[in-house]
Amino acid sequence: MTRRSLLGLTALPALAADETVSARVQRLQLKHTWTTVMSSSTYRDVLYTTIRRNGLTGRGEGAGIVRYGESAESGVAFVNRIAPELARMDLRHFGKVIDWVLAQSPADWAAKAAVDIAIHDWVAQRRGIPVHALWGLDPQDAPLTTFSIGIDKAEVIRQKVREAEAYPVLKVKVGLANDEEVIEAVRSVTRKPLRVDANEGWKDKDEAVRKINWLEKMGVEFIEQPMPAHMLDEQRYVRQRVHIPIIADEACLRPADIPRLATAFDGVNIKIDKAGGLLQGYRMIQIARSLGLKTMLGCMISSSIAITAAAQLSPLVDYADLDGNLLIGNDPVQGIRVVQGRLTLPAGNGLGLR
Ligand code: MG
């Protein structure tokens, strides 16, 4: 072994001036104060990444989830740590590069997602195709997307439902003490299909059964994560006593989680920020489908970079809940559009962002 290779100097070719990987925090302002079982806020900080090479810029975004110890700042630190080596990697082998990114930390999933999205955007631009064409998907297969109505007072909920007139399917958050009031407020102004997310709100299995049996009568299409993520036995008990599909969300983070969920749930909600990127999301969709589970793509509150990225996978799934960009007032880019509730992918190369 030569002295140069001992020092690690031989393997790395000189960088061209424009070959960079960068990360920063972006503050997104919310149109409405956002309340779920977990938190309440008026803004959301996310991580933005860029990969610049050969005159092209790939962009990515990730929303770190506090529950898993992630923040926009911790995401910046992760990207800065891997950036020097990543900037030298051959992106023609992007699947190998993304697996390398995934192996660089036991956590940092949203930051890995932001890097993975920027890589997909760059690679597809370089090939002169949209990201969904990397997987051979038909953008005409993109599903309807829901519009989410946050927990609030009945009068505010009715106003939010009226503002969502353009969306044919609504998603409503429940799981607090006023569930009946929330659903009745929505039903007092619309007969549209409703999808309901309890965000682990019911801790007792018989309470969950009672609530879901009531929701069935209120025209609810499916229920997301009624009980805490770890309560899989109770979840199986609930599933045997209700008549609408139950979709895992908090219980489903990454590909390895899915097989054990197959007997407790009817489907899984896949989020790119939790999965660690589009490659991981693609793997999760394929595992879920192979187990006979319904598939759904969800999102965090994000700008159109992350939502457009997730939407590139949406032709593969049964349900989409990709409205995070509609909830913010300072979206810096245009990408995915919703036309009569249907996701409409932009025509441009890469993510197609403008
Ligand atoms: Mg959910």
pLDDT digits (tens, 9 = 90+) for 218-257: 999 999 999 999 999 999 999 999 999 999 999 999 999 9
**Is 134-344 the same fold as 3-128?**
no
- How many angstroms from the chain centroid is the CA of residue 306? 8
225: CA distance to ligand 1 center in Å? Answer: 7
- What global pTM score does this model have? 0.92
Residue 250 Cα to ligand 1 middle (Å): 7
In the chain, the amino acid numbered 244 is I
Distance CA 120, CA 190 (A): 39
Q: Is the dihedral of CA 227, 233, 239, 242 positive or negative?
A: negative
Phi, psi values for residue 238, rounded to 5°: -65, -45
Whether pLDDT at 71 is above 80: yes
- Architecture field, domain 3-128: 2-Layer Sandwich (3.30)
Q: Return the amino acid letter for 341.
A: G
Q: How far is the CA of 91 from the centre of ligand 1 (A)?
A: 33
Can you tell me whether residue 13 is helix, strand or coil?
coil
Tell me which amino acid residue 97 is: V
Distance (Å, whole) CA 337 – CA 308: 9
Give the Cβ contact number of residue 42 at 10 Å.
10
What separation in Å is there between the alpha carbon of 82 and the centre of ligand 1? 31
Dist. CA 19 → ligand 1 center (Å): 38
CATH for 134-344, options being 3.30.750.80, 2.60.40.10, 3.40.630.30, 3.20.20.120: 3.20.20.120
> Over the stretch 22-45, which tens digit does the pLDDT of each residue have?
999 999 999 877 665 556 689 999
**Residue 144 C-alpha to ligand 1 middle, in angstroms?**
17
Average pLDDT in the 263-274 region?
98
Distance 209 CA to ligand 1 centre (A): 18
What residue ranges do the domains of the chain occupy?
3-128, 134-344
pLDDT of amino acid 1: 41
| Cα-Cα end-to-end distance for the chain | 49
